[in-house]
A and B are shown apart, each in its own frame.
Chain A
């Protein structure tokens, strides 16, 4: 016999100003099966919760319906409250009379009647609710960090320092990411490599961290606490155990004209020999001298041994015989309990053939074909002491020091027509930095910056940008640039200064474009492997933009850094530590409690064994890959039939399988047929 308690919340004025709550309570008090009904101003408050608890005791309630806001707000609150009194929390449900009623209607009378109806339906459902127990899932206390840039490095260090094992998978031969390519960072002008490399070394030395470089995530199976990740360790062609990092192979490698990814593809004439250029790399290479691990890989696409069967010099000069041309990719499996995605960004190219995105490039800037029109990352490499010029700013075309440099903001960003709609956030700051550093290196040079807005919102950021203007003489022109074209040895930049109401033409020696920060080219593919959400620009989608920035919507997977959206280094590090904290919290228990509202395939007595007849339509429709196949065998081991089985850890309780099962063999716990039909049948009854 049901004894349901009904509690109508006013939610201050939110519900109370539209719905006549006392009347709803009074009406429900008369409903069969309701033992107690009342209304109160704020049910989620302590007194409100105490009201429920007291009623459970006084009226020996067998179920509770709280009519208030959306269950997404306070379902856990009320369930915890009833659990304290020994009532199974899944016998407590919420009827949403706020988002579904008072907030969307203006006719108070009709809204009140609707509220009564909504509560009544929920009472009928609760009469059929089952007491459910949470599912306990073991946790593997190891974390996987995908990406070894500053985000991945920080997250890994924080998780490891909290006492848990970490595996880092990094695609490049070395960790460090884009931060390793920078010269100095704003607003402190710290040398980027100097502040990053100690952390990189910490990673290498940390007893709890396993580092896989030149590796990629191939497949992700499993669920929170129990992921099984297949990692492809690409063939380096170098035996890591034997290699000492002496560098003899790189010195002797004859393929010396490969564009270096670490130098962002920029090369300059060799001042000693104008016929040659600097900035390339060899086929066997480490990206830079501070690489971790400081052991090379062979780029098989450019190595003579692999393309033509010739050479082999590196093997000959290697003192420890570490070269192994026969090495193959290796697939390994890592079992982890949580994943932190820290895969970073790429810098957009204005070239027409930017095929990864459906954007048409900037023909008005020459499609990136002119050597003296470079992007921000390439300029960083020129400024960097580890770059092709050891920090001298020169023109890639002829190696001369540019006397006039023009910087352009927002190339591809905030451009609905030819680029990306969003703001890339860091360009205003890094262009200020570039202009400042240029002036520090070329004292008689003149810098111009065509900008739209100056976004300098961080700590001491605004003061930093003002220094560029007030102390380093950079002229900031407020307007976009329409066209850049070569004239003789120079580049004509045709822009605007809306502050002067004028078209502005500047003859430049070098032009630096702050191109958009975009998602990695394979971000979509990775998101699909991980089954995480991503947005139209392929940045990964956080669970809530304000309050849950480092969690994904998929349990156990967290984000850190620019893979979630453009941001600067301080924000990246903060997010990385945040994600690490979430992971540590996850690992602080030995078992994970998960909600029991999962699907379940019925079994039956022999000879039926199961109403499931093995069509596996549920497997096809399940977005979480939670349907497994189970072989039913008799005592002798003969196969009877293969039926579907729900992996309760992966199941998110969406109910698609239950809806699509043709044999009606699947039930979603908490939403079984009896409950749902009770609600449906109650609609329209007085």
Chain B
């Protein structure tokens, strides 16, 4: 099957989330999905856009939607939920208010009829879970994971409403389908601090500290995410989080597309499992049913990245 694809800057352009991009593309290819990038897509504006200038954000995203529509894409896979949300909100707003549509079209010099819509990775996989189940080559062992949706996958519910807003279950169902054991925990949809990772890292440390302590307290051995910002904050900033919450944290942060890829027998290298900040060697070995590597890897928090 063919699917429109909007990778967004984090996955493709500056690629601080190169793992997410690489693993998503590889896993979907293994599922037989051919991804076609929206031609000449631009940045969705992210936090800076939607926080400081709603007209700019709307225009930027109507351009993306119009480009997708012109390329005949009814559904656009946007793995990053912030991109998905910006596209979805732009869609909602211009579909409801013709004046907003006109202003956005004038700004971006394109016409948009309203026939495209973004879809997150979780939603796509969940809608096609039968296909996913068919393609599983090696079921993963029942390692306990906390599925972290972040604030964007379920809010605002008008734009992102495919799962239960307060107690979402779709990513959990997917992980269980792959063989993992999911834990019930209290911070599934709490915000990680998002775009403040550089500009106000104390907030990120506080928020991620709360999230990771809750995940650890629930017995999780890893956290599964589907958002590049969440990944960066929970992974790259885990040391600060641990310090702020005054707890010991050793939680590898894995992308949903990475655990999916492992179940499809893709290699850790293809899935970019070697570039995380919190060391993933041990968890990956366990996920692949391999013997644990002999004691050279340090505890999480240090720069223990092993290039495989």
Instruction: Identify the A interface with B (CB < 8 A).
Output: 352, 362-364, 366-367, 485-488, 492
Contact = CB atoms under 8 A, between A and B. Distances in A.
19 contacts: A352-B164, A352-B167, A362-B166, A363-B164, A363-B165, A363-B166, A363-B167, A364-B166, A366-B167, A367-B166, A367-B167, A485-B186, A485-B187, A486-B186, A487-B186, A487-B214, A487-B217, A488-B217, A492-B186
Contacts of A363: 164-167
A304 B165 CA distance: 41
A40 B145 CA distance: 86
Interface of B: 164-167, 186-187, 214, 217
Contacts of A488: 217
A352 to B, nearest CB: 8
Ranked nearest first, the 5 interchain pairs of A and B with the lowest CB-CB distance are A363-B166, A485-B186, A363-B167, A364-B166, A363-B164
A351 to B, nearest CB: 11
Contacts of A366: 167
Nearest to B154: A363
Given A362-B166, A487-B217, 5 more contacts: A352-B167, A363-B164, A363-B167, A487-B214, A488-B217
A363 B187 CA distance: 13
Contacts of B166: 362-364, 367
Contacts of B214: 487
Nearest to A365: B166
A418 B195 CA distance: 30
Contacts of A492: 186
A349 to B, nearest CB: 16
Nearest to B190: A483
B156 to A, nearest CB: 12
B207 to A, nearest CB: 14
Contacts of B186: 485-487, 492
Contacts of B217: 487-488
A352 B166 CA distance: 11
B247 to A, nearest CB: 13
A459 B187 CA distance: 45
A297 B164 CA distance: 40
Contacts of B165: 363
Nearest to B168: A363
Nearest to B164: A363
A362 B165 CA distance: 10
Nearest to B218: A486
A363 B167 CA distance: 6
A362 B187 CA distance: 16
A352 B169 CA distance: 14
A367 B167 CA distance: 9
Contacts of B167: 352, 363, 366-367
Nearest to A491: B186
B294 to A, nearest CB: 36
A481 to B, nearest CB: 13
Contacts of A364: 166
B150 to A, nearest CB: 16
Contacts of A485: 186-187
Nearest to B157: A360
A354 to B, nearest CB: 14
B244 to A, nearest CB: 16
Contacts of A367: 166-167
A366 B217 CA distance: 18
A363 B164 CA distance: 8
A439 B182 CA distance: 40
A606 to B, nearest CB: 68
A505 B87 CA distance: 35
A364 B167 CA distance: 8
A492 B167 CA distance: 17
Nearest to A364: B166
Nearest to B187: A485
Nearest to B166: A363
Nearest to B186: A485
A363 B166 CA distance: 5
Nearest to B165: A363
Nearest to A369: B167
Nearest to A492: B186
A290 B167 CA distance: 42
Most chain B CB within 10 A, of A367, A486, A488, is at A486
Contacts of B187: 485
